[in-house]
Amino acid sequence: MLPIRFVVTSKSRNLKLLLYAFWGFGALLVALGATGFGPLARIFERPSFQMRIEYWIVGLRILKDNLLLGVGSDRLYDVTPSYMSPGSLQTITTTRMDSPHNWFISFGTSFGVIALLLLVLLFGLITLSYLRRMQLVRFLSDPSAPNFMAFLCVVIDALVSIEQPGLGIWLYFLGGKVLASVITYSSPKVLSSSNREVAKRISTSSILLVCLILATTTSIYFVTFRFVNDALLRSSIQNVTTGNPVEADLKKIESLTIKLRAEPEYVVQSVPILAKFGDGPALLNISKSFYDYNPQSIQAAGIRAQVLKVVTSLESSCDLQVKLVANTPWQRDIVENYLECLKLGFKDAIYRNQLAVVKNYLNFSYPAISSIEPSLESMLARAVGARLEFELGNLDRAKSLKIEIEKEMQNFDSSNPVLEFSKIISILNY
């Protein structure tokens, strides 16, 4: 606001030119910093900024591969592992992403490029309409100026933010207020209701208005249902965390979570609380409800598999473990569970192909495998490698590695009798 006021009120042409030159110099510094030159380069070289660039690239690649309709709402967590496999990115080492840190890219990957273009067009037309009717002199005193500034701030925030639904709500709300100020500023036209054409338009508008009211009422019902149950669930979790819960409190958390099964974050909030108090039946009901609602979701499969493994047995989760290892063959706990499931007989026609993929990422999953110094981690890593050789049919190699590790365990155990080798022994049990 201050530079705008300076431009409007200053009578010196040279000072105005100086201000414009300062703006141009600032833009030049930003451009140079983005390309790795100048004093602002340090900002662009920060890991947090470089990670965002990686996230944007991943998001754009997903959008390119799912151009028309996107991957669907809340599905980025499921599809990103194939775009973020170890070694494919320069900065990020994680293998999951549920938001590309850009609300517009997130919207596009979820619903496709057509929906994204319509959204950008909507907000672009609102901005251009406002700027076209607004002059700098009026901008300083117009009561709608703060709404427009807030709208632009949210747009800028949306370009770098991880927040997904909240930003959309504010963009629509503030965009609507800005658009309303544009419409009310236009000169109203006086129409005579006695004209047949006008009467016909009023009748059509009334029908459209009724339809819009019905659609809005339906939307309000579903949104209110979500907000109310969200508040009740958070309150119930807080009461259980800070007080002495009774069975009715845990049942309430279970019931509310199942009502909100369409949104993964609620299951993630509830499961640790119920696990803390050992409510196995509730964990089974929630994970089953969540998985049945969206059986294609890897997140749902992961939660269901973990609950089944802990509450019942690993064997009961093996069908899901096969699905999980195909999605992230470099995740250690999933690899180990999958190997145990193979021992239990869960082998499909392509299991050796899957094991070959697991072996390909072994150095990433178990970096201690190349360690010269013997340690519990290095023995575990080599035990997994030996088990992979056995399952792939390389029996001589597997036997040789097993003998080496067992000898090393005996020597290691003599000096460290308290160490547990149960996991290594289980993996080598072939």
Q: What is the pLDDT of residues 225-274, one digit of tens each?
A: 888 999 999 999 888 888 777 788 889 999 999 999 888 778 888 988 88
Domain ranges in the chain with CATH number 1.25.40 = 215-311
Segment holding 78, helix H or strand E: helix 76-79
CA dist 150 and 144 (Å) reads: 10
**In the predicted model, what is the mean pLDDT of residues 129-145?**
80
Percentage above 90 pLDDT, the chain? 34
Q: For 187, which DSSP code?
A: P
The arithmetic mean of pLDDT across residues 62-77, rounded, is: 88
Percent of the chain with pLDDT over 70: 90
Express each pLDDT in 287-343 by its tens digit. 999 999 988 888 889 999 999 999 999 999 999 999 999 988 988 899 999 999 998
Query: Considering the chain, what is the average pLDDT of its residues?
Result: 85
Of the pLDDT bands very low, low, confident and very high (cuts 50, 70, 90), residue 136 is low
| Tokens matching residue 115 | 């929906």
CA–CA gap between residue 260 and residue 379 (Å, rounded): 44
| pLDDT, position 286 | 93
pLDDT, residue 107, reads 92
Does residue 371 surpass a pLDDT of 70? yes
Taking residues 394-411, report their average pLDDT: 88
Task: Say if pTM beats, i.e. exceeds, 0.85.
Answer: no
pLDDT band at 164 (very low <50, low <70, confident <90, very high): low
Instruction: Determine the 3-state secondary structure of 176 from DSSP.
Output: helix
Third-level CATH fold of 215-311? 1.25.40
pLDDT at 355: 92
Alpha helices in 243-370 (DSSP H): 247-259, 264-276, 280-293, 298-311, 318-327, 332-343, 351-360, 362-365
Q: Residue 120 above 80 pLDDT?
A: yes
What confidence tier does 195 reach under pLDDT thresholds 50, 70, 90? low
Query: Which residues are CB-neighbours of 329 under 8 A, at least 6 positions away?
Result: 335, 354, 357, 358, 360, 361
> Does 209 score more than 70 pLDDT?
yes
10 Å CB burial of residue 85 (0-12, 13-18, 19+) is middle
The residue among 4 and 354 whose pLDDT is bigger is 354
